[in-house]
């Protein structure tokens, strides 16, 4: 089976070389690596060009935000399985994709996810937050649960059948997609209890109080557009669950 990994980038010259190197070290042999650049103004494209031996396909053109760029990557993908690796993230070890694809040997599995560590921008060994996903059971989204999107892999047919990322929820499109395919469409999941990704701190929805409020607004819309009703505490538990990730980070 082939796995397609998509990296979306814009002015990512400081980190994207690490991301590309992380892909190049993966032991799984059948990787299609796609990079979608949003017309970077720094030397990101130069770094991409220097690594065309690792990158299967890449484009550099204007987009309408990160999720529009991800959708472009999905449209370009030809793999049986698709995953996202952000331009400032790296895999935690060289066997992550091998472990992911072993889980997909079970033909009943449509999605696979694992754990994630937030790390310092300039020191990937310094852990700030540990996102331990835990095993999914039906209804967990009502408790504020979600898997970390950078560790979430689905078969291409999931996108084909249930759609790609909405571009009108800039702070919660990944949450809406996972809510849609896991909670509403009930795809069968496999959880691998290991850290898949080291993510540098500074995600969009965590940068400021205003961004957090925007994310909460989009989280509410995610439930509405899917025609489902959260519990009164669901959207409170989602950000509160992050507190434990800071406490139990080791």
Q: How far apart are CA 73 and CA 83, in angstroms?
A: 10
Q: Burial-class residue 135 by CB neighbours within 10 Å (0-12, 13-18, 19+).
A: exposed
What pLDDT does 214 receive? 77
Structure tokens at 15: 């980190």
What pLDDT does 191 receive? 98
Q: Alpha helices of the chain — where are they, by DSSP H?
A: 16-24, 44-50, 66-76, 96-103, 156-162, 173-178, 209-225, 234-247
Q: Are strands 123-131 and 81-84 parallel, antiparallel or unpaired?
A: unpaired
What pLDDT does 240 receive? 77
Q: Which residue has the tokens 């937030």?
A: 118
Tally of domains in the chain: 1
User: Do 8 and 87 meet the contact criterion of CB atoms below 8 Å apart?
Assistant: yes
Longest dimension (CA), the chain: 51
What pLDDT does 212 receive? 64
What pLDDT does 179 receive? 98
Reading the chain (250 residues) residue by residue, the pLDDT tens digits are 999 999 999 999 999 999 999 999 999 999 999 999 999 999 999 999 999 999 999 999 999 999 999 999 999 999 999 999 999 999 999 999 999 999 999 999 999 999 999 999 999 999 999 999 999 999 999 999 999 999 999 999 999 999 999 999 988 999 999 999 999 999 999 999 999 999 998 754 445 556 666 778 899 999 999 999 999 999 888 887 776 676 666 6
Range of the domain at 152: 3-247
CATH code of the domain covering residue 170 = 3.90.550.10
Structure tokens at 237: 């538990």
Q: Which residue, among 246, 242, 234, has the nearest Cα to 140 in the 3D structure? A: 234
Structure tokens at 146: 């979600």
Q: Are strands 3-9 and 31-37 parallel, antiparallel or unpaired?
A: parallel
Helix (H) or strand (E) holding 33: strand 31-37
Q: How far apart are CA 200 and CA 125, in angstroms?
A: 11
102: three-class secondary structure by DSSP:
helix
Structure tokens at 79: 């793999």
User: Do 74 and 3 meet the contact criterion of CB atoms below 8 Å apart?
Assistant: no
Q: How far apart are CA 122 and CA 145, in angstroms?
A: 29
CA distances for 112 relative to 56, 58, 147, 184, angstroms? 23, 25, 10, 17
First to last CA, the chain: 34
81: three-class secondary structure by DSSP:
strand
């Amino acid at each position: 089976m082939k796995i397609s990994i998509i990296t979306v980038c814009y002015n990512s010259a400081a980190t994207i070389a690490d991301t590309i190197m992380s892909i190049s070290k993966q032991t799984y042999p059948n990787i299609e690596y796609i990079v979608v650049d949003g017309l970077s103004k720094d030397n990101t494209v130069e770094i991409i060009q220097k690594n065309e031996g690792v990158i299967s396909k890449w484009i550099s053109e204007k987009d309408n935000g990160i999720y529009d760029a991800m959708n472009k990557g999905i449209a370009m993908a030809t793999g049986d399985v698709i995953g996202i690796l952000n331009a400032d993230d790296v895999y935690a070890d060289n066997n992550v994709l091998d472990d992911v694809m072993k889980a997909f040997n079970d033909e009943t599995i449509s999605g696979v996810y694992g754990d994630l560590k937030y790390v310092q921008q300039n020191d990937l060994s310094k852990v700030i937050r540990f996102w331990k996903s835990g095993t999914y059971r039906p209804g967990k989204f009502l408790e504020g649960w979600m898997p970390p999107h950078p560790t979430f892999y689905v078969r291409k047919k999931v996108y084909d059948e249930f759609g790609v990322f909405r571009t009108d929820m800039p702070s919660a499109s990944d949450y809406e997609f996972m809510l849609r395919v896991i909670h509403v469409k009930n795809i069968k999941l496999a959880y691998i209890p290991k850290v898949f990704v080291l993510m540098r701190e500074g995600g969009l929805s965590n940068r400021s109080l205003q961004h957090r409020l925007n994310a909460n607004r989009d989280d509410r819309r995610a439930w509405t557009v899917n025609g489902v009703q959260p519990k009164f505490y669901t959207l409170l538990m989602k950000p509160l669950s992050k507190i434990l990730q800071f406490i139990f980070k080791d």
